[in-house]
Amino acid sequence: MSLDNRGFASAEFIFVTLIALIIMGGMVTLITSEMDKTQIGSLGQARILGEKVATTINTAYANGKGYSIDLSIPATPIVTVSVNNITPGYVNVSNAGKSVAIKLIAQNVTPSTLSSNSKYHVFNNGTTIIFTQYT
């Protein structure tokens, strides 16, 4: 690009710079969109698992004294499930820095922390829902 007296080189340079900025802006938007989708997916997985745990607890509660049910938490995603620990009356599931809370119908649930790749026996003793881990 050689400079001339009328400023064509400067106009060309500004035009090329503008096009480059527009392309980079589009790429940043695309990357941000993909990251949002990943975070939403992680939160969705946590929500599904939380609903599964809450349904298991509520089933044991609704069926009365002596009812037991097994609960299996898969190895992936790696989550932490807190029952009545963070918020009483809720199942809280944390995954990839995000957390979701699911309300329980059952009132008396032993505070517990459940982890990925584990199996639990959920038992209604008539007054409280109790978790026992097994292999």
Would you write out the chain's pLDDT as a tens digit for each of its 135 residues? 455 566 666 778 888 888 888 888 777 776 666 666 666 667 888 888 899 999 999 999 999 999 999 999 988 778 889 998 778 899 999 887 788 899 999 889 999 999 889 999 999 999 999 999 987
Q: How far is CA 7 from the centre of its chain?
A: 56
pTM of the model: 0.70
Q: What is residue 33's predicted lDDT score, i.e. its pLDDT? A: 67
Q: What is residue 118's predicted lDDT score, i.e. its pLDDT? A: 92
Q: What is residue 39's predicted lDDT score, i.e. its pLDDT? A: 62
